[in-house]
Structure formats: structure tokens, C-alpha cells
Structure 1
Amino acid sequence: MEKYKTLEIVQKTPNSSVFHLNLNRPSLRNALSRDFFSEFPKALSSLDQNPNANVIILSGVGDHFCSGIDLKTLNSIISSDSQSHDRGRSGERLRREIKGLQDSITALERCRKPVIAGIHGACIGGGIDIVTACDIRFCTEDALFSVKEVDLAITADLGTLQRLPSIVGYGNAMELALTGRRFTGPEAKVLGLVSRVFGSKNDMDEGLRLVAEGIAAKSPLAVTGTKAVLRRSREMTLDQGLDYVATWNSAMLLSDDLMEAVSAQAQKRKPVFAKL
């Protein structure tokens, strides 16, 4: 398995189709470096292409999930463009840089396999960009969230302002983004940012495992199809979404998975599906 500077991929249980992708810079509270932005899409792509992986759990090693973008990274982006006297070329370079960073986070949506975020400790700035691109979010009671960019004189640009409104509602997203205020796990649940809150990290890890194993046992064709159709339907009218899923199922529905699910129900046994 490939080695990364900022991440680790772990298969905690042998033969399990649940894989763990961990942000792994605990001494820096998993701040996001340039290396992270190049490694993250590669790691997700490798899991996406791995036929043994059905579900991915995304967590942070150490005391925090993610403290946001590394200030060194931010400084290097700014200083690399301050040398040019041509404002147009400088702006074009910066735009290209931002688009590249955005693409690293969007890799979560490109990944066909569902990604479940387990959030503990701080989830600040870039951490919110990451979790809003995940498919399911759990957290601990003492998790601490903040859409922090406004306090650094930045307009959040890696996906939070695009994804958060459809998760927590437009008004809530506007308030959180303009104030940059901190909020904890229970409020994140009320807002709809997370679907479950746990009393401790150990409890959350067990909850993550149970949900991930449950999803991983289902038809991989149905699971990847559900993610793909839900993701695309955000951008479509109701009629377009219905048409899209009809086309999707016309290609995928008549599968061995369907026959296996039906016969397993009839025989009162657990279905066994082929790898994707």
C-alpha cells in the first residue's frame, strides 16, 4: 500500500471491505499542507479503484479532525503571486491554484464509494470544506466547528459556501460563514451538519464501524448508484433527476446483485455480492 506524508490508509479488520483514510499530521492538528492537496485525491482514487473497498471512513489521527489550511501553505500561495507586477497574470495563476485545491476536495464526490466522516476535536475552516463533501457525517459531543475563513480575511473557496447551504439551509450557512463562530457537536446535529453525535471518540468509532459495515454488506452496485444519483440530483430539476435515475437503472438494475438480493430474502439468509 502506498505511503503518504499527510495521510494513512488502514484496513483495521482483515477481510473487511471498510477502509479507513486518516488525516495524519497529529502534531499540527492535521492542518492541510500542499502535500495533503496532492496526496488526498490520489488516496481516494486508489480506494475507489480497489475492488476490496466498499466504504471509506475518514477521520483524523490525534486530538483533532482538522484545524484547517496550514498557514505556511497559505503564505506560500500568497507570496508566489506577490512577485509579479502583472496583476492579470498574477490573478490567473492564483485562480488556477485555487481551482487545483478545490479539485482535491471534490475528489470526495468523484469517489464512487461512500465516504463517512468521523469528526472529533477541532473541525475548522478547510476541515468544514472536507466534511461537507463527505456523504455521511458523525461527530463527538465535544467536537468544535467553525467556518473560520472570514476571520482570516478570506472568502471560503474550497466548497463550504457551495455545499453547506444544501446541508444546513441557506440562512444557517450564511450566519455561520459571516460570523465564523464556534459551535459544538449537539448544535451541529440540530443544524443537520451531522446525523449522529456520540459521547466519546470510542463510542463514535464503534458507531462508524457498525454503519460502515452495514453499508459495505449491501449491493455495491446499489450503493454506488445511490451515491451517484443523489449527488447528480442536487443539480437537476425533479423531472431531470427522475429521468437520470431511470437511465441509470436501465443500465444497472438487471444485475446478479438483484437476483442474489431477492433469493437471499426468500431463503432468509444474508446475501453475498461480487466485488465491484
Structure 2
Amino acid sequence: MAFETFSLTIDNYIAGVTFNRPERANALNQKAWEEMKAIFEELDERDDVRVIILSGSGRHFCAGIDLELLMQVAQSAQKCEGRKREKLRRQVLELQAPINAIEQCSKPVIAAIHGGCIGGGVDIISACDMRYCTDDAFFTIKEIDMGMVADLGTLQRLPKIIAPGIAREMAYTGRQVAGREAERIGLANRSFADADTMQSEVLRIAQSIAAKSPLSIRGTKAILNHSRDHSVADGLDYMATWNAAMLLSNDLMEAFQAKMQKRDAVFL
């Protein structure tokens, strides 16, 4: 598929999804939101994709929502106040949907972040499985400086990634968190001196994931997401049901045989 606002590559079970509006610091217009949803829904279904790397072209990872689109959302020709608010609510849900598609994608999504990760960019990386960045990257919940409440997932997901107090500090102040601090507070798994080093390490991690049982990787993501949002007891009960359905697989047999034969497992 060809996209206007993203580039997509697939090689050796690894999909590379890249924001491709460098002239606008990868700010996302209406087309970009639509394409992001379509991309992650498609990659979820593809058997030739086992892991996804999300990155940005140009100087920045992503500057969030394009201001022109934000102004369009804020305007309405509706005369009825109730219908105006109903439409606005629907528009917010439509903007949330592409980010939800990242979280709901059954394949792990790794964010490789350089430069600015601003506003909606933080919403997006909060929905990813893992985050890696460069030392000169910076993260900011910019909505507070625009007289807004961040509404696309940051306030729901970030306090489950980093300490709630730090998440609140970022949300209340809008201050920039640089790469080294992002690593220290757990927002980034690791921070690297430069983009080339980061991309090399992220690719190595993606290759390691792609070599595992794809059924097990997808199941692990599903269980982790479920466990995050439920009690331990509910999570264990769900886990038992999941493995009752998924445990006895060809992947399990291949993993055992490969170990006995002292070779690398090959999963279909």
C-alpha cells in the first residue's frame, strides 16, 4: 500500500512505519490520522509481520496533531448546542481510534524516538509496547500550554508506564523531559547518544522478537494488556483460559524439537 503521510517497509517479519511529514515536524493532519489507523489495522492482519518499529523522518519524531486540524475540530456550524457537543465528542473518539489501533495491534510496536515527541506524539508512544530514544529527544505534554486537557490517551496510559506523580508533573507543567531523564523515569527503555546507534539497537531487539513464536508473542501482548487493566485474580483466570485455547500449538512442538536438536527454531 502507498501512503501520503507515512512510509511503510516490511523485511524479515519486521515492519518499519515512519511518520513522513518532515516539513511539518511530522504533525498529523486528517489524512495522517486516517492512514495511521489503516496501517496498524492492516499490519495486525499480516502474517509477514511479527513486530513493528515506529519512527519519524526529519528532525523530529512527531509534533502531534496538526494545528489546522485542531482548529477544524474546534469549529462547528451546528446551531444546536447539544448536537455541536455530540459532534465534538465523536471527533475526539475518531482521533483516539488510530492510537487505540496501535495498542490493539497484536504485534509488538517499538517506538524509536528522536527530536521532539510533542502533545499527540506522547499519546502515540504511550500506546506502544516499548520506547527507545536519543539523548537529544524531548517529550512534552503540550496540551496544557494550549488551554487543553490531553484527550487522546496520555492521561490514561502514561501513569501506568511511569510513576503517577511524574506523569502528573509532566501533565500539569508541560515541561520537556529529555532523553536521559526519560530513561531514568521509565518513559524510555533506553536512551542512546545518536539516532544511528538507537536504530541499530532497536532493529536488533525487533529481530530477536521476530525470531520467537509469533503465536506466543501475540499472546504475550494480549495477556500483558489485559493484566494491566484487571486484578491479579482476573488476570490469572484469563491466562488459564487463554492457554487452554492456545498452548497446544505447532509453535510449541517446534520450540521443543529445536531445543532437542540443538538448532534455532523456525516458526511459520
Is 1:119 paired with 2:113? yes
66, 73, 90: which one aligns with 2:69? 73
- Structure 1 partner of 2:22: 26
- 1:85 offset after TM fit, Å? 2.8
- Structure 2 partner of 1:91: 85
- Structure 1 partner of 2:8: 9
Is 1:159 paired with 2:158? no
- Structure 1 partner of 2:175: 181
SS in 2 for 1:57: strand
- 1:91 offset after TM fit, Å? 0.5
- 1:36 offset after TM fit, Å? 1.1
Is 1:246 paired with 2:245? no
% identical aligned pairs: 48
- Structure 1 partner of 2:48: 52
SS in 2 for 1:157: coil
Q: Deviation digits for residues 166-197 of structure 1, max 9, x if unmatched?
A: 00121111110000001100100111111011
Partner letter of residue 238 of structure 2?
Answer: Y
- 1:84 offset after TM fit, Å? 2.5
- Structure 2 partner of 1:237: 231
State how far apart, in whole Å, the 2-side matches of 1:224 and 1:214 are.
Answer: 14
- Structure 2 partner of 1:145: 139
Structure 1 residue runs of 4 or more that deviate by more than 2 Å after TM superposition: none
TM-score, normalization by structure 1:
0.95
In structure 2, list runs of 5 or more residues that go unmatched.
Answer: none
- Structure 1 partner of 2:164: 170
SS in 2 for 1:74: helix
State how far apart, in whole Å, the 1-side matches of 2:36 and 2:114 are.
Answer: 20
State how far apart, in whole Å, the 1-side matches of 2:101 and 2:135 are.
Answer: 28
- Structure 1 partner of 2:35: 39
Q: Deviation digits for residues 137-158 of structure 1, max 9, x if unmatched?
A: 1000100110110001110000
In structure 1, list runs of 5 or more residues that go unmatched.
Answer: none
TM-align CA RMSD: 0.8
Q: Deviation digits for residues 31-55 of structure 1, max 9, x if unmatched?
A: 0111111111111111111111111
SS in 1 for 2:15: strand
Partner letter of residue 10 of structure 1?
Answer: T
Q: Count matched residues.
A: 268
SS in 1 for 2:18: strand
State how far apart, in whole Å, the 1-side matches of 2:180 and 2:260 are.
Answer: 41
207, 214, 233: which one aligns with 1:220? 214
